[in-house]
Amino acid sequence: VAERRRSWWGWGYEDAALGDEELRAMGSLLAERMGLTGSVLPAPRVADLRIGRPRLRPPAALEQLVSDDPEDRARHAHGQSYLDVLRCLEGRLERFPDLVAHPRSESELQAVLEWCSSVGAAVIPFGGGTSVVGGVDPAVGDGFAGVVTIDLAAMGRVLEVDERSLAARIQAGALGPSLEAQLRPFGLTLRHFPQSFECSSLGGWIATRAGGHFATGPTHIDDLVEALRVVTPRGVIETRRLPASGAGPQPERLFLGSEGVLGVVTEAWVRVRRRPRWRAGGTVRFASFEVGAGAIRALVQAGIQPANCRLIDPLEAQLNGVGDGTTAVAIIAFESAEHPLDAEAVRARECLRDHGGVPEGEWRSSSEEGQGGGAALAWRRSFLRAPYLRDGLMRLGVLCDTFETAVVWDRFEALHARATQAVRDALDGFGARGATVTCRFTHVYPDGPAPYFTVIAPAAVGRAEEQWRAMKQAASNAVLAEGGTITHHHAVGRDHRPWYDRERPPLFAEALRAAKRVLDPAGVLNPGVLLDAARGELE
């Protein structure tokens, strides 16, 4: 079987991208409605890039691990943010790592870190390269001798499975599908399915506190990590495998969300579970998003925890083919490896109906692979296909991006209104009237939802980056002003830094900086992410 080829610039696998013919058809459909030119930007080629010579040469001992191949450097020059893909499409990708390291073991990784520390080269840990916040961009400023990106792909194995405790020791470079494939023979699953699942890695999830499959209850990867191994320039940190502990501040929590600035996560013991066999659920329609939000709030505050609990506003439901645009739609699903779920499903159905919802169908528990009915299936397909569609829309000249947050229920409505209006106003300034701004809940907690906004508008010709920056700034300012966080699960990277800095207590930032100086004395790890680049002493 031929290995599938990853796109060097856009989402996922080349064979799954929208084809030119499909794009032209879509373009002519959208041309009138969105005021597009109808032309299709060509897929960019590595050969058209101006990639300078690397500023660094690896020592002989590392030559085997380190590549300066232009395509390798181009593939590692960006993540998958709107801006990343825009720069590729517009031929404006300008910064490249000087070298890409491909360690196959912790000791090889350690050797790379030591060399980079000694020569003052910035180090960018790279898992699946799916950051949408500039987390892997080699934009480290001028203070470094060069940039070495460390790709963890060669460290992707499930090393150990403890079937009694339902936990597995897994290398950080494992991408979602490979990780699940290795667990499947044991009848186990991690069940962590961010939208990036196809191309993102366990280490990336840990470094960015990824939000997962479960819409309620413990859902961040944080809650699935039992123990960690992290390689730092000062040596290895290994935490103890424990179901829980009250011994001091939890060490894993310093590295969960550390985004590569404190060390490179190399493996983790994670909590796995048996593959679900029973499912139940269905869809509920609401007169408006606000009514739906109230009902979902009642549901989670009643202690009901569906695995899936997405509330989609009327317009987004229509665009995804799960509604006709007149009603908000909630997709609810329970799952269990052990028992039928009729009691849970009935309880959820009744609770949502009591709060203004109109449930569809019977919600009977089934042991089939179905996901609770037609609307849920349609939505799921659209969810996994979205990143490919985004790239296609961009080639047609469409601004297509998302932003997300979490906020307490008491402030949700104000945040929703203000963020939506702020984005509209910002896009109006670029003449993009009729921009589509939609919202859904990806995760819900008893004290608040995680609203996820999608923005679609004609890109301003010749000013697409400027337009995006105006939109992003307006959205982020609105989110912060109304009490939200700059990110529920997309991370901080370089793009969210200004707002992260406002959200983060200044003395905590100082403490974090002090921890970094201990673990990364030369200041080479992912400079500019979370903290300002600050070169320390060379070793």
Distance of closest approach, residue 272 Cβ to a second copy, in angstroms? 9
Contacting a second copy (CB under 8 A), which of 63, 362, 428, 447? 447
Q: Which of residues 224-243 bind a second copy (CB under 8 A)?
A: 226, 232, 234-235, 237-243
Question: CA dist 176 to 3, 182, 216, Å?
Answer: 17, 10, 21
Distance of closest approach, residue 342 Cβ to a second copy, in angstroms? 8
Whether the Cβ atoms of residue 387 and residue 196 lie closer than 8 Å to each other: yes
Whether the Cβ atoms of residue 169 and residue 156 lie closer than 8 Å to each other: no
- What is the C-alpha to C-alpha distance for residues 15 and 197, in angstroms, rounded to an integer? 17
Distance of closest approach, residue 478 Cβ to a second copy, in angstroms? 15
Using the contact rule CB under 8 A, the part of the chain among 137-145, 208-216, 283-291, 386-394 near a second copy is 208-216
Using the contact rule CB under 8 A, the part of the chain among 2-10, 63-71, 182-190, 335-343 near a second copy is 335-343
Tell me the residue length of the chain: 539
By CB under 8 A, how many residues form the interface with a second copy? Answer: 95
Q: Which of residues 139-198 bind a second copy (CB under 8 A)?
A: 162, 164-167
Whether the Cβ atoms of residue 232 and residue 258 lie closer than 8 Å to each other: no
Looking at beta carbons only, is 304 or 399 nearer to a second copy? 304
Please, what is the end-to-end C-alpha distance for the chain in angstroms? 46
Say whether residue 522 binds a second copy (CB under 8 A): no
Cα 119–chain centre separation: 32
Q: Which of residues 256-285 bind a second copy (CB under 8 A)?
A: 256-259, 262, 271, 273-274
Helix locations, 336-432, DSSP H: 342-354, 374-395, 409-428
Please choose, from the candidates 156, 116, 155, 153, the residue with its C-alpha nearest in 3D space to the C-alpha of residue 138.
116
Looking at beta carbons only, is 239 or 402 nearer to a second copy? 239
Please choose, from the candidates 375, 378, 400, the residue with its C-alpha nearest in 3D space to the C-alpha of residue 389.
400
Contacting a second copy (CB under 8 A), which of 35, 91, 143, 251? 251
Distance of closest approach, residue 259 Cβ to a second copy, in angstroms? 7
Q: Which of residues 292-311 bind a second copy (CB under 8 A)?
A: 297, 301-304
> 374-395 vs 20-34: helix axis angle to the nearest 10?
90
Say whether residue 353 binds a second copy (CB under 8 A): no
Looking at beta carbons only, is 265 or 375 nearer to a second copy? 265
Please choose, from the candidates 490, 484, 489, the residue with its C-alpha nearest in 3D space to the C-alpha of residue 503.
484
Say whether residue 453 binds a second copy (CB under 8 A): no
Please, which contacts does 348-355 make with residues 24 or more away whose CB atoms are closer than 8 Å? 348/281, 348/299, 348/304, 348/306, 349/282, 349/284, 351/295, 351/298, 351/299, 351/302, 351/304, 352/284, 352/295, 352/296, 352/298, 352/299, 353/284, 354/298, 355/291, 355/294, 355/295, 355/298, 355/299
Looking at beta carbons only, is 79 or 392 nearer to a second copy? 79
Contacting a second copy (CB under 8 A), which of 248, 368, 369, 462? 248
Distance of closest approach, residue 238 Cβ to a second copy, in angstroms? 6
Say whether residue 336 binds a second copy (CB under 8 A): yes
Contacting a second copy (CB under 8 A), which of 33, 53, 244, 368? 244
Q: Which of residues 56-115 bind a second copy (CB under 8 A)?
A: none
Q: Which of residues 369-408 bind a second copy (CB under 8 A)?
A: 406-408
Distance of closest approach, residue 398 Cβ to a second copy, in angstroms? 27
Say whether residue 519 binds a second copy (CB under 8 A): yes
Q: Which of residues 481-510 bind a second copy (CB under 8 A)?
A: 483-492, 496, 500, 503-505, 507-508, 510
Which element (helix H / strand E) includes 508?
helix 506-519
Q: Copy the structure tokens of residue 415.
A: 């945040």
Contacting a second copy (CB under 8 A), which of 10, 211, 357, 372? 211
Task: Tell me which residue has tokens 């307490």.
Answer: 408
Q: Which of residues 401-440 bind a second copy (CB under 8 A)?
A: 406-410
Kindly give the pairing relationship between strand 308-312 and strand 264-271.
unpaired
